[in-house]
Chain A
Amino acid sequence: MRMNQVWTGRSSATRMRVSVAGFVAFVLLTTPAFGQGEPAEAFVKQLRNAGYFDTAITYLDRVSKFPGVDPEFVSAIELEKAQTHIDAALRSRNSNDRDEAFTNAENALQSFLKKPSHPRAPEARLQLGKLQLFRASQFLAGEVDASARQSARDSYLAASKTFDGIVSDLRGKLEQLKGQSIDPKTDPEAAKRRDEYRFQYLQSQLNAADALKLAGKTAKDRKKDGKANLDEASKRFTELNKKYHKYAEGAVSLMHLGQIAEWLGQDAKAEENFLLMLEQPEADNLRDAKFLAAAGYARLKLKQSPPKYKEAIDRVSPWVREIRPNEKTAPSVQEFRLALAKAYLANAADEAVKRGEAGRATSEGRELLQDASKVPGSHLEEVRTLLADMGIDKNDAPKLPTAEPPKSFEDAIERAREVYVSTGEIDKGLKLLAKQDETPQLKQQKQSLEKQLVESYSVGSQVLRAGLVMVNKETDNETINQARFLLTYFLYQQRLHRDAVVTGSFLARHAPGAEMGLRGGLIALNAMQMLLTEVPEDQNDGLMRQLESLGNYLTKTWPNDPKAAEAQGIRIRLLLRKDDYDGAQALIDKMPAGRERGYFKRLLGQLLWNASVLAREAEDLEKSDLLAGKAIENLQQGLDELEGNADVEVMKAALVLAKIHQFQKNADKALTVLDHPKFGPAKLVETLGSPSETFTREFRKVELKALVGKMLKAADPSQSLDRMTTTMEALRQAFQGPDAQSELAAIYIRLANDIKEELELADPARQAKLIEAFRALLQRISDATDDQATNRWVGQTLMSMGETLMQPGQTKATGQALDLITQANRALQKLEDQDDVTTGYLVGRSHRLIGEYQPALNAIQKVLTANPNTLDAQFEGAQTYESWAADLKPTTGYKAYSAALKGGRPGADKKNTIWGWDAISQKTSRNPQFRDKFFESRYHVAYVLYRMGTLKKRKSELQQASKVINRVEALFPEMGGAKMKAKYQNLLKQVEKGLR
């Protein structure tokens, strides 16, 4: 039996939950900080955690003689012993041991409390009180006679007295503190201590009253023999509620008052208190009491004649939906389920109701009872009786067998089967819990279940080992094999892989053709695989040979069994681990068609794609393409062979396939895979959910790229607009976190480049169509978001499209290009990071292209003040002066040309922030890395000189222009390539014409 079942066995749920929480808090309070010397507290804690309780007691007996132990710890040894005994009791699965441990704990606490002034005495008293409460509940377990009732009552009354002692002690302390004005800001420690005292003071008052209530409850005739205690308890709860109704303890008193009134037959008073309890505000620490109050209310309603089941159902049934995962096993919830189930059964039994309503009520009642039947506790007997009345036998509820030696082989196998069933239940429970959000309670619940699981497997294997020794000639062979299988399974679950290999292989080879033989062999194979991860590679030759031999044996012995294909699967995995794709492919191709082969094809396909990416990185394009082709083939076949519903693995494989298609510019194929009704992630992600953030990002990225690809090729690009907008939003949502913006921006930039390249290749008519479609898309996106990366992309893409429409040599946009770049400029100006070098550059450039030269220069100057070496911005600055000059009247135009040549906008150091073409060409001439920039800037030097000479009709500037060109030609006869050379030559012709 699990220990929390013991704690919650026979008494008030509220109190029991308080008790367990109390023990936890107690442990936390005593957690030591490391100091110098023997770390006694930490060590005892570790011993307790390891379950070495006897060793912890031995240590505590000796610790006072050890050097460097904190004297405060030595003075509280009895308290530590008490905690150790309590922990031992909580872990014990034997009732005698448990009783003994609790008795020892109580004695240790009593012994410690002989030093009442010890600083930890209040903790000890609290602990003792709770222990006495628990001990009392133990007396009421099982068959209860008069003597047990008396012992329980005595223990409850002793507990009440202990809590009264705490109350009296704390009252004194709080009164002392009352005189001192404690300011939490200046003295947080004192304020914290005062709050702790207040909490313990209220808690102890509640516990004292509760103990009295429970003492009264022990009486066979509560109205007579229990009345004195119940009245006293009622008085105390009333007082608590009156004084502290704003605190949980005061509010919870209402539920206790309701229970007392119910037991004393004061139904109206009970109902009033239960209802008041239910009307209390929503708060976590009141929920337990509310479930109990709801149960009490339902009981009272059913007690009335005729039973008012409808009122009960209407008032409390909504609470069923309110049960939280961590509350499902709470005793209060079981009491509630039972009471409400009875109300439903009363409804179903009412002959006046229609058959449909009766059926529904029966169904609701049955469900509640079945839920309650899964949780151990004192309610079980009644629940099972009710279920049995409904024709459902629930006596087979999971129980954990003890590791006592089996009486016979049959006994062993029987108990092992029980373990198998119960561990299956626990495992299911764990899987359910794993899906829920982690809370401290849930974590604790999971840990407890995991522990149970481990213990159960251990018990199962112990029992079977002992049982298999008792096999005799009469024992049925099939049952022996079943026992061997279960043993192998339990060993594997305990991660005793070597043991599992031995038993599983033995079973496979001794039961050829039998189901159990195959199952045993498969577990052995899995265990070998686990061992391979543990054993260093240079030492695993033997293991590899064993694995291959067993794998071959299984596939040969069970040739037509799909499960035997799993053996092949393990060998394939090993080949894949060694990157032997051809070997794996050969084995996969030999497998019979079906689920297993499909899985491996998908796996191989993904690995081949990884290998293809690596080959591409290594610039081996031929190999990369070959591998990508094989990847597509395997993935497609693997997905086509899918049987049943797709899962996350399938969804991931489909995404990889879509990604390859997208990479190969087959947008339609990529989208076909993504949208596939059976395995496409577009649908599956809605039903299965996304397996990870990375998956969502990757999926949306591929989807968007494929959509852009489709749009670029489609006859009517506007058809994809809706989906593109949705996908863009989904992509943006998928990228959250510190690096998200830059990652998103990188994706957008790549997309913008794709669009630009496609526009470049398109004929004018198609270009116009595409631009219109993208423009509409960008407008939608821009309207829908304030996201910076997205808006930057919008700006950049609009600008790219606008520039695509401009003619070579055109420096100022017109028509549709002007519209697009103006739109881009406005979008870029909205970006928050105007100080960013790229943003500043783009804003400046877009201003220039739409003829807004002054703002263009302002933006570029800002960039260059912060980053003078930004060559692109220097180009942009010089180009802005040059473009502006062309727009101005000759006089001012000359000045602007001059600035384009010599620079402008002096900074704080009086030097020009915008260098001008001359300085750019000089700086770039020194570095071969910037040779293109040199030729371009030098061309502009000549061009601007030519324009200046033309405007002023002065030959000196034209001669300079000619000199510049001739000098470039002399030094670099290629003149930066054919196109650039042609430009220079054209310019030279014009210069020479001017000189004539």
Chain B
Amino acid sequence: MAQALKQTRVHFLAVAFVATFAASATAQMDRVYVVGSNSASAGTVTETSKGGIKLKTGAKVRDFNSSEIRKILFQREPTELNRGRELAIDGQYEQALTELKGIDGEKLTRDVVRAEATYYVVLCNAKLALAGRGDRNAAIAGAIGFARNNSNSYHFFSVAKLLGDLALATKAYDKAIQYYGALKDAPSAESKIESRYLVGVANLEKGDVAQAEAAFGDVASVSVNSAEALRLKVLAQAGQAVALARNGKGKEGLSLVESLIEKLNPTDIEMSARVYNAQGASYEAAGDIEGAILSYLHTHLMFSGQSDAHAKALGRLVELWPKVGRAERAAEARQELQQRYPGFVN
């Protein structure tokens, strides 16, 4: 009977067995996805650096630049990492963290996979902290720790940018300028341009309008014409408009912003939010409070997905509504600001 039972038990395992038998013949495969494509290149990641990775497929080795990599799925990576990564990419940072916390570190045998798991934890903590839903100092410490221990990670420059964002949020402007400045060493031309643009943003926040203008001017005059570079150029022009407003040149700022709005694609949330905030600042500088309210309302009512710009617009509305006799709307704006961006209020 025991023999018979043994036999019967075996057949329930038949399907599982097929998988095992087949897997033993398969080599280890990592899958690299690049920006703008849904198909992956398969092979083995043999080397990583700040600038990117090397993927070996058969006898061929292909280089991938860090700024073109959308994601890498590593062979036999834990399911939690896979799910956590997808959630993080999707902006669901709290759920992503829950998944990532379930990873058993002991089982991560490859350095590159360990770095990958750590990076996504750093990313989620930083994003939550930036949204006012997490500890900023802890997020900064995590990101610095990552950069220190993984200086050859292809995520290195992403982390540098996160550090810049966190420094900006904590009003550590010089640090922000330093971190954003580090992006100039990233491999792509667009990253170098972005570095300059972000340095401009940080200078503007710091109140160093001259440095900000210089940085935005550099970006606005670059000759790279990729879609991303063109986008950064428009963002820099919006920055220039704010700088003009800060210098009391509201009308000049307005004229610049209007030229941007004319070509604006309202489905680009970040761009639209920044351009309308720039318009608001320009109107304020020109003394047109109604106009400024209308501009900030564009960001508030239509482009609230860009949280930092939205928080800024709400902050301005809190100040401006009472000036047109609408204190109750200022209270509404304040309440929304407190509820959605508690960190911003702090």
Contacts and interface: CB of A to CB of B under 8 A. Distances in A.
- A and B associate: yes
Interface of A: 34, 36-39, 42-43, 46-47, 49-50, 52, 55, 58-59, 62, 66-68, 495-496, 534-536, 538-539, 749, 753, 756, 760, 796, 799-800, 803-804, 806-810, 837-838, 841-842, 845, 867, 869-873, 875, 927, 929
B210 interface: no
Do most interface residues of chain B lie in helix, strand or loop, or is the interface mixed? helix
Interface in B107-164: 132-135, 138
Given A43-B302, A68-B263, A68-B264, A59 B1 contact: no
Contact of B8 (A46, A534, A756): A756
Contacts of A534: 339, 342
Interface in B247-281: 258-259, 261-267
Interface string B1-15: 111110111111111
Nearest to A983: B3
A870 B17 contact: yes
A62 B291 contact: yes
Nearest to A498: B338
Given A37-B261, A67-B262, A538 B138 contact: yes
A753 B21 CA distance: 24
B22 interface: yes
A879 B134 CA distance: 64
Interface string B31-60: 000000000000000000000000000000
A88 to B, nearest CB: 15
B172 to A, nearest CB: 19
Most chain B beta-carbon contacts within 10 A, residue among A496, A536, A804, A810: A536
Given A749-B12, A869-B22, A872-B14, A34 B297 contact: no
A872 B13 contact: yes
Given A36-B264, A68-B262, A808-B1, A59 B294 contact: yes
B290 interface: yes
Interface residues of B, number: 46
A92 to B, nearest CB: 15
B329 A52 contact: yes
Given A46-B301, A753-B12, A806-B4, 9 more contacts: A43-B298, A43-B302, A62-B294, A67-B258, A536-B132, A538-B138, A807-B1, A807-B4, A837-B14
Contacts of B13: 872
B5 A803 contact: yes
B24 interface: yes
B266 A42 contact: yes
16 contacts: A36-B264, A37-B263, A39-B266, A46-B297, A62-B290, A535-B342, A536-B134, A538-B135, A756-B9, A837-B15, A838-B14, A841-B14, A842-B11, A869-B21, A871-B17, A872-B10
A50 B297 CA distance: 10
Contact of A872 (B11, B22, B24, B267): B11
10 smallest CB-CB distances across A and B, nearest first, come from: A46-B301, A68-B262, A67-B262, A39-B266, A67-B258, A808-B3, A803-B4, A872-B14, A538-B135, A869-B21
A863 to B, nearest CB: 9
A536 B267 CA distance: 32
B301 to A, nearest CB: 4
A808 B18 contact: no
Contacts of B17: 870-872
Contacts of A62: 290-291, 294
Given A37-B262, A62-B294, A68-B263, A760 B1 contact: yes
Nearest to A63: B294
A808 B4 contact: yes
B264 A804 contact: no
B18 A867 contact: yes
Do most interface residues of chain A lie in helix, strand or loop, or is the interface mixed? helix
B293 interface: yes
Given A534-B342, A538-B138, A837-B15, A39 B302 contact: yes
Contacts of A867: 18
Most chain A beta-carbon contacts within 10 A, residue among B14, B298, B339: B14
A535 to B, nearest CB: 7
Contacts of B132: 536
A927 B24 contact: yes
Contact of B301 (A34, A50, A927): A50
Contact of A870 (B14, B259, B261, B267): B14
A55 B290 CA distance: 8
A804 B1 contact: yes
Contacts of B133: 536
A38 B279 CA distance: 12
Nearest to A537: B135
B266 A34 contact: yes
Nearest to B259: A67
Contacts of B14: 837-838, 841, 870, 872-873
A67 B263 CA distance: 9
B306 to A, nearest CB: 15
A371 B302 CA distance: 42
Contacts of A842: 11
Contact of A799 (B8, B9, B298, B335): B8
B127 to A, nearest CB: 13
A262 to B, nearest CB: 49
Nearest to B260: A67
Given A34-B266, A536-B133, A47 B12 contact: no
A68 B258 CA distance: 8
Contact of A37 (B8, B138, B264): B264
Contacts of B12: 749, 753, 796
Contact of A837 (B10, B18, B259): B18
Most chain A beta-carbon contacts within 10 A, residue among B8, B138, B293: B8
Nearest to A749: B12
B188 to A, nearest CB: 27
Given A34-B266, A39-B302, A806 B1 contact: yes
A538 B221 CA distance: 45
A536 B135 contact: yes
Nearest to B338: A498
B262 A42 contact: no
Contacts of B329: 52
Contact of B7 (A58, A535, A803): A803
Contact of A809 (B3, B8, B293, B301): B3
A756 B5 contact: yes
Contacts of B135: 536, 538-539
Contacts of B22: 869
A934 B247 CA distance: 85
Nearest to A808: B3
A36 B258 contact: no
A247 B192 CA distance: 67
A39 B269 CA distance: 12
A939 B298 CA distance: 81
Nearest to B288: A62
B4 A46 contact: no
Nearest to A65: B258
Nearest to B134: A536
A627 to B, nearest CB: 20
Contacts of B2: 760, 808
Most chain B beta-carbon contacts within 10 A, residue among A55, A539, A927: A55
Contacts of A59: 294
Contacts of A496: 335
A810 B298 CA distance: 82
B297 A55 contact: yes
Contacts of B258: 66-67
A358 B26 CA distance: 87
A756 B1 CA distance: 11
A803 B15 CA distance: 20
A534 B294 CA distance: 30
A66 B261 contact: yes
Given A756-B8, A760-B5, A838-B15, A52 B297 contact: yes
B113 to A, nearest CB: 22
Contacts of A841: 11, 14
Contacts of A67: 258-259, 261-262
